[in-house]
């Protein structure tokens, strides 16, 4: 059964609330933003993220930030950020279920994405 388009909308709404700091009172979606927590063959890192609220929140913030940034970047720069995301994903997967490692990789990636975001020229 295909997922409702509203499921993605509710994840996006929750993600925006997390980004804006308003997410503390909102219930978390049933899955992390970047993968389906209900699929039967989750990797160890995905299982840990789904089971841990702060990692789930970090995943929501990371994927939302990544999506926003890649939507604003020109094609050449977008490809670089996408390649960095693939490399980061391999690093996250290497953590397996190590919560400290997962937190560190998310913290590092969020800092990298913030650096990219800060370099995007904004209208005055």
What's the domain range around 37?
Answer: 5-119
pLDDT for residue 31: 64
Q: Is residue 21 part of a domain?
A: yes
Low-confidence ranges of the chain (pLDDT < 70): 1-31
Q: Is residue 26 part of a domain?
A: yes
Q: Is residue 124 part of a domain?
A: no
Q: State both tokens at 103.
A: 């937190």
Q: Is residue 107 part of a domain?
A: yes
pTM of the predicted protein model: 0.73
Per the structure, the count of domains in the chain is: 1
Q: Is residue 34 part of a domain?
A: yes
pLDDT for residue 30: 53
């Amino acid at each position: 059964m295909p997922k409702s388009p509203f499921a993605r909308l509710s994840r996006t709404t929750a993600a925006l609330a997390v980004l804006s700091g308003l997410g503390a009172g909102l219930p978390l979606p049933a899955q992390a933003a970047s993968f389906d927590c209900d699929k039967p063959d989750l990797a160890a890192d995905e299982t840990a993220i789904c089971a841990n609220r702060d990692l789930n929140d970090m995943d929501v913030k990371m994927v939302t930030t990544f999506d926003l940034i890649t939507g604003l970047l020109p094609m050449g720069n977008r490809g670089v950020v996408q390649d960095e995301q693939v490399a980061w994903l391999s690093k996250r997967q290497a953590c397996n279920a190590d919560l400290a490692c997962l937190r560190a990789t998310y913290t590092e990636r969020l800092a990298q994405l913030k650096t990219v975001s800060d370099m995007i020229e904004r209208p005055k």
